Amino acid sequence: QVQLGESGGGLVQAGGSLRLSCTASGRTITNNYMGWFRQAPGKEREFVAAITPGGGTTFYADSVKGRFTISRVNAKNTVYLQMNSLKPEDTAIYYCAFYNRGSVYERKSVGSWGQGTQVTVSS
């Protein structure tokens, strides 16, 4: 069983940047897709970004494409989400995701979740 711990959330003004980190323990993430989802108050958890095991291919929600970048360092068992040009609508709890199998865009493909980190963007 993998445990995921996120960090890096906080309060930032619109147009600012944050970098989220997710470090896994309990097993290696080397062979698994990893990703990020987010959940705003009153809304369903939604896909944000995902990355293949080797890091060569990435996937993004249309709403963050061009502003967010997902990356990973397998030697550190860590995944990152660099968020630039943040908007108030990016405000949410961000969750790290360890995929089992299936589409990266679907919650049911996720085998383990982190506890989440709050990102708040003020206007």
pLDDT of residue 110: 97
pLDDT of residue 1: 87
Looking up tokens 């709890």 gives 93
pLDDT of residue 122: 98
pLDDT of residue 105: 97
Written in H, E and C, the secondary structure of the chain is CCEEEEECCEEEECCCCEEEEEEEECCCCCCCCEEEEEECCCCCCEEEEEECCCCCCEEECCCCCCCEEEEEEHHHCEEEEEECCCCHHHCEEEEEEEECCCCCCCHHHEEEECCCEEEEEEC
pLDDT profile of the chain (123 residues), mean per 10: 96 98 97 98 97 97 98 98 98 98 95 97 97
pLDDT of residue 32: 97
